[in-house]
Structures are given as C-alpha cells and as structure tokens.
Structure 1
Amino acid sequence: MTKSTSSMPAWRLLSYGTINLPLSFVGYPLVIFIAPFYAGELGLPLSWLGIMLFLGRMSDVITDPIIGIGSDHTRSRFGRRKPWIAAGIVMMTLGVYKLFMPEPPVGLGYFLLWVSVVYVGFTMVTLPHEAWGGELSASYHERTKITGSRQFFGLIGLVAATAVPAYVMSQPGGTSGAVLEALGWVVIIALPITGAWLMWAVPSVPANDVSPGVSLRSGLRTMWRNGPFVRMLMVLLLGVIGETFRQTITLFYARDVIGVSNLGSIYLLYFGVGLAGIPAWIWLGNTIGKHRALGVSFTTLAVLSLAMLPLGHGDGVMFTALFAAKGFCFGSLQMLPSAMIADVVDVDAARSGKSRQGLYYAAAGVALKLGMALGQGLSLNMLDLVDFNAKGANSADAISSLAMMYCIPCATLFIIAVPLVWRYPLTAARHQKIRGRLDARRDATAAIVNASP
C-alpha cells in the first residue's frame, strides 16, 4: 500500500474520509455557536469563556504528543491507529452530550471540563486518522487526494451542519442552544456509524511495512532539524490564528455590523462553495505545487478580508458575496497543509529510517490547537476590552472596533504567511527523489530478509 506507485481504489479512498462528516458537526459549533450560547444564553463572562477555551486547547499540548507517539507504538491485531480512533469516538460522544446539551445552571468549571473532554476525544480520532492517511500512500499527488477525501466529507458535513442552524434559527424562538442540541444528536448517532465503516473498509498498514517508532526526545530532536517541517509549522500557526480569530467573531460581525439575522443560511452557501472548490485546489496543487497553491489561497483570503472593511449595516448582499468567495478557499487551508505534512515525514524517514507519522501529526496538531486557542482567546478578550456586549445593544465605537478586528488581524497574518510558504523547499521533484531512496532501502531490506535461511 505504501509503494510510490500504488493507487487506492476510489471506494476505499472515499471510505477513508467518511468519518470527517460527523466530526464537522463538532468543529463548526465549537467556533461559531459555543461562545454566543454560553455567554449570551447561560450568562457566563465572555472574557472568561475565551480563557477557558484557551486552557482547553492548551491541554492538547500535552495530549497530542502522547496520542501521536502512543499510536506510533501501538501493536494490535487491529493495527496501530484503529484502537485510538475507537476510544476517541466513545469519549467524544459523551463530551458532546454534556457540552452541547448542558442542564443549567452551569459554571466555568463545567465548561472547561467538558470542552477539554471533547478536545481530547477529537484528537484521539483525528490525529491517528491523519497519520493513518499518510501511511496509505507514498505518492506526492495521491496524498493530496487522500487529504482531499477527508476534506470532501468534512465540507459535506459542514454544509449539513450549517443547514441545521439555518433551519433552527428560522423558527420562532430559535436559539444557539437549540442549534447545539440538534447538532449534538447528529454527532452522537453518526460518529459511531461512520467510525465502524472506516474500521471495516480501510485496512491498517501492515506492521512489516513500517519501522518501529523511537523515543520522544529522539523524535523531537530530529523533527526540529527538519527544515521543511519547521517552516510548515510556522505557516500553519499563522493561518490557523488568522482564520480562527475571524470565524470566532463572525456571528457578532454579521449581526451587529452587517445586520444579518440568520447567518446559518450564509454559512450553508460558504461551505457549499468550499465543497465545490476542492477539485480546483487539488488540480492547482498538482499543477504548481501544494505550497504555492496554499500561497494563492492565503493571498486571496487577505484581499477578501480587507475588502470587507468598508462594509456596514445593510450591506448583506456584498457581505454574502465576499463571504462565499472566502468559502472557496476554506478547503485548501486544511487539505493542503495536511498533505504537505505527510511529505515532510518522508524527509525524516530518509534520514532516520524510522516511521513517525503519529509524532509529526501530533506536532502539527499542537500548532493547530495552539493557533485555534490563540485565535479564540485573543478575539473574545479583545472584544471584551472594547466593552462589546455578546447579547447585543452595542455602542457605535464597539461596533466599529468589531469591524476592524474582523478584517485587519486575519489579513495581516495571511500576508505574513505568503512568503514563508511560497519559498517552501519540498517540491514534487525533490519529494520524488526522497521516495526513490526510501523505496530502494525498503526493497534492499526485503531482499536481505527473503535471502535469510
């Protein structure tokens, strides 16, 4: 399965990505609806919610390496990754039930506990799943298709997840709490079903196809000497902070700056356009390289963000058009970096002779979670500094500050990321040479083993 020339059957490629559909019902509301619900409906302080979200994400700094290395070292008849994914599904279903459907009154401790459980369960599913995907093929271009499968089903899930709020919020008395309850039940039902299908349909990489893992200290030392990976982490961190900062306050911006009452229907368009854009990003990545395709995406997002700065109350049509254009770039922000990380693992394997997919995806996961924590924490606390009221009825100064926060910080971070990713050194040609060395080493090892008495 890991030979450079191998090709996954289309049905198995699609089966691999299915679990991302219900996972989207978790990631989307955690960014969009959690803060409005717990602050606006349950009355928890907005600034403290930002701190709790940050602390919950920071737990991933500890858990991600544990899960990544643990899955690298796991040996079972079900493979390295599947036991972790199964355990994560159980943890997530419990956490989602408690976090999305709390029984008031609840406090900050309750929120921190269950958001942390959801985060850890989410990592136990997604990190081994991504590492598993990196092992399914060694081809530079097929890895883009594998991550594209994840993103394809993730965006289908996001389209479905936005249809639920669009319907709920259109009903009399529709609230963020009602939206979270509906989304939560979808996760509780669909996640175990898609997880079971994944386990059955997609084979684990056989133990004789991978080299044993190594210690955390040795792995980290080698990882930080991997120039392309360190650059990729910097780019990932900048992009995630910018995108999460913007997404966290989108509901407030749409409501108080533009005057949009039902953001769910606009998000439905946003993710629908993102779904339609996946083939274009796969094509562009294969044509000019994944790193430069990502640079094009960052540049486009920066321009679109700054174009929103002059908008005001009543500019719903222009906001919707620019927002949908941003949606076209959404898929690239997760699909392309994930495929690039799978490639940089080969650089490490060529140097060390070890297979450390889990460790590398864990490090990328830490950067991702750190970026999300900073994006959420900074945006909510900056709003609190300008006396923004999550329940509405804000002053003109607070609304003006909100508009600038929505447009300028994310655009700035995207612009900084562009030159870093544009000069990314691991091209398709260089990766092909590295894979040639790895395949030759594997063939030589197999020949020695077969020749042994």
Structure 2
Amino acid sequence: MGLSLAAIGTAMMLARLVDIGVDPFIGVASDRMRSRFGRRRPFLVVGALVVILGMAQLFNPAKGVGLVYFLGWLAVMYAGFSLVQVTHRAWGAELSPHYHERTHISSVRQFFSTAGLIVSTLVPALVLSQAGAKSSDVLSSLSWMMAIVLPITVALNLWLTPEPAPGPLPPRQPIDWKGLWRALRRNGPLRCILLVLFVGFSAETFRQTLTVFYARDVIGVPNLGMIYVYYFISAFVGVPAWRWFAKHTSKHQALAAGMVIAIATNLGLYFLGKGDVALFTAMFIIKGVCFGALDLLPAAMLADAADVDTAITRKSRVGMLFAVSGVVTNLGQAVGQGVSLNALSWVGYRAAGETNAAALTS
C-alpha cells in the first residue's frame, strides 16, 4: 500500500482502540446468550467468519487503496479476533471450577495455540524460500491458510468441547458500568492480573515490533522467519514445564519467573552486534520457552479471579471479565504498536531499509 511506518503504527493503534469498545459488549452478550446452540458457540462461529473476511481483504488489497482501507479492514479483523478470543477463553474458564484443572485447560489451549503459531511462521519461511517470492505472496498464503484451517478447528471445537449449562438468565438491563468498576476495585487478584497483562503486552508488543527491523539491520539475520519457528517450537515444548512448575509452586510464582527470564533476555539482545546470529537465535529460543508462561498462566489466573467476582457480585460474569482482560490487552498492544512504529519514524528509520542500522541503536 506504500504506507509509512508512522501511518501503519497509528492505524494499528486506532484499530486496537476501536476494538476496546467492542470487547465488553461481546462479553455481556455471550454471558446473556441463551440458544439451543449454547452461549459461546454462536459468537465463535461469527467471529471466525469475520476474521476470515477481514484477513482476506487486508492481506490481498487491490491496487490504489490507502490508509482508510487499511484501517477499516484491520478494525474488522481485530473485531473478529475479539469475538473468537473472548468467547473461547470464557468457555474454557467455565469447563472446571478446580484450581489446578484450570491450569491444565489453559495449558492445553496454549499447546494448540502455539502449534498454530508454528504453522503460521513456517508458511512465510516456505514461501520466501521460493525464487522470486515477495512479501505479498506471504500475506496471500496466510489468508488462504486461515480460510481453510480456521473453519476446521472451529468445527472440531463445536463438536468435541462440551459447554456447561448456564444459570438462570438475569433480568435484562443496561450494563452497570459503575457497578462493574466497583466490583473491579474490590477484586484485588483481578486488578493484579490486569496490571500484569497491560505491562506485559505493551512491552512485548513494543519489543516484537522492533525485533523484525533490529534482527535484519543490526544483527544481520538472514531468515528471521526460521528463528521464529524455533521460538514457537521452544514455546510448544515449554508449555508442560510451566504447567508442572505452576502446580508445584503457584501460578503467580511461575508467571513471575517467566517474566524475569523474558526481561533478562530482552536486555541481553541489546548488547548483541552485527553477525551475532547464533547468540541472537539462542536468546530467542530462551524467550520462546517463556512465551507459554506469559500466555497460559494469566488466563488460568483470570478464571480464578472470576470466582472472587462471583462471590462479590453474586453473578456469573466470566465472559465480561475476559472481555475486560481483552480491553486491557488491546490497550497494551495499541500502546506497543503505536509507540514503536512512530518511534522508528521519528528517528528517521525506513522499513525498506534505505537507512543504516544507526537509527535503531541511537
């Protein structure tokens, strides 16, 4: 599309901010849904279709489209992901009331999620290995993969996963934003989880966005796609280890350990120089092991915090709480994407690589 990094970063931030307004309504609507198909299932199906549509339009743009097109379809794709993620995670949280079983459920979800990430990183590596392949070919291939694989996985989820019977439907009334805020203020564990999600996602999104350019122009990595394959394979292997660690210590101690290791490796990357590809790869693999902890444990902890909310409010609002976590996550990603890409533009870096590496290390 020929957009600058600043324009892309701003558009991604705005799309995330728009998505923030969508998440609470998804959570409330799925909590209140009563149908013969279940509460969460209809939202999962609609979300999958919206994701496929948004990705197809965003990754296969016609010639001459600009920023408005990019922003609009990006917002559509993000809304689809929210429909899928909020309902899927709330559904998983309701499968068991037991502390350690929730960690097990989150680890299974993370196991398959990481397997999907491995496949999605293999696609660019395989496409770009072909003579004459371009980045547009990678995007097109990813959109086709999503259109084929997502309906299959959603169908398997609908077929194989039971959905707990909902409680009595409360009287229909508008969202009590003040009551929700009061309940959040009284729920200490939830406040801590949300703070960790915001700090973690804003920092990691900032780091991930810069890594693409830092690896290519500072370290000189020839094929970052393959390093991300190693990254997600190590995350895949690390999921059972984090589940074991959380069971034998506690979820918050395991999460703290994962975050400390991730921070240490992020700091270490800064001291690498041109040609340190082997060290860069090794540190990325260590970070990959931590990826499972940073994603699966907050979801399991949020399910526990939902019990505290139920005790405070006498209501089951699992969907709403996962929507609130989605709001916080989207806000963190908006900050990370918007600040990082605009910062690159401010220091004079261009994505096409016309500038030297000094712009990334200054």
Relative to the length of structure 1, the TM-score reads 0.77
Q: Note the alpha carbon deviations across 1:278-305, whole angstroms, 9 max, x for none.
A: 0010011111111111100111011111
Which residue number corresponds to residue 146 of structure 2? 187
For 1:149, the equivalent position in structure 2 comes to 108
- Whether the aligned pair in 2 keeps the contact of 1:162 and 1:265 (CA below 8 Å) is yes
Task: Give the aligned partner of residue 82 of structure 1.
Answer: 41
Unaligned runs of 5+ in 1: 1-41, 402-453
The answer as to 2:8 corresponding to 1:49 is yes
State whether structure 2 residue 292 is matched by structure 1 residue 292. Answer: no
Percent identity over the alignment is: 47
1:211 CA drift (Å): 6.8
Query: Does structure 1 retain, via aligned residues, the 8 Å contact 2:12–2:337?
Result: yes
Aligned CA-pair RMSD: 1.4
Alignment partners' CA distance in 1, 2:142 and 2:41: 25
CA distance in 1 between partners of 2:25 and 2:16 (Å) = 15
SS in 2 for 1:207: coil
SS in 1 for 2:94: helix
CA contact (8 A) 2:217 2:356 kept: no
Determine if the alignment matches structure 1 residue 339 to structure 2 residue 300.
Answer: yes
How many residues of Structure 1 are paired with residues of Structure 2 in the alignment?
A: 359
CA–CA separation in structure 2 for the residues paired with 1:52 and 1:117: 13
Q: Report the Cα offset of residue 76 of structure 1.
A: 0.8
CA distance in 2, matches of 1:175, 1:261: 15
Deviation, 1:389, is: 1.0
Alignment match of 2:198 (pick from 212, 216, 237): 237
Q: 2:344, 2:360 within 8 Å by CA — same for their partners in 1? A: no
Residue type at the aligned position of 1:389: R
Deviation at 1:112, TM superposition (A): 0.4
Q: Answer 1 or 2: higher relative contact order, Cα 8 Å, separation at least 6.
A: 2
**Structure 1 residue 396, shift from structure 2 partner:** 4.6
Q: Deviations over 1:211-239 (max 9, x none)?
A: 74874323332123211111111111000
Q: In 2, distance between residues paired with 1:269 and 1:358?
A: 34
SS at match of 1:50: helix
Matched, 1:158 2:140: no
Contact 1:211/1:355 (8 A) holds in 2: no
Which AA in structure 2 matches 1:202? Answer: T
Runs of 4+ in 1 over 3 A off after TM superposition: 210-216
**What does the per-residue CA deviation read over 1:347-383, in whole Å, with 9 as the maximum and x for residues that have no partner?**
0112222100011001100010111111111100111
- Work out the CA distance in 1 between the residues paired with 2:249 and 2:145: 39
Deviations 1:131-153 (A, max 9, x none): 11111101111111111111111
Residue 399 of structure 1: CA displacement? 3.3
What is the deviation of 1:202?
1.3
8 Å CA contact 2:121–2:229 kept in 1: the answer is yes
Q: Which has the larger radius of gyration?
A: 1
User: Does structure 2 retain, via aligned residues, the 8 Å contact 1:169–1:264?
Assistant: no
Q: Is the CA contact 1:269–1:324 (under 8 Å) kept in the aligned structure 2?
A: yes
Cα distance, 1:157–1:396 mapped onto 2, change above 3 Å: closer
The alignment's TM-score, normalised by the length of structure 2, stands at 0.96
Amino acid at match of 1:319: F
Question: Counterparts of 1:36-435 in structure 2 under 5 Å?
Answer: 42-208=1-167, 212=170, 215-217=175-177, 218-401=179-362
Q: Distance in 2 between matches of 1:119 and 1:67?
A: 13
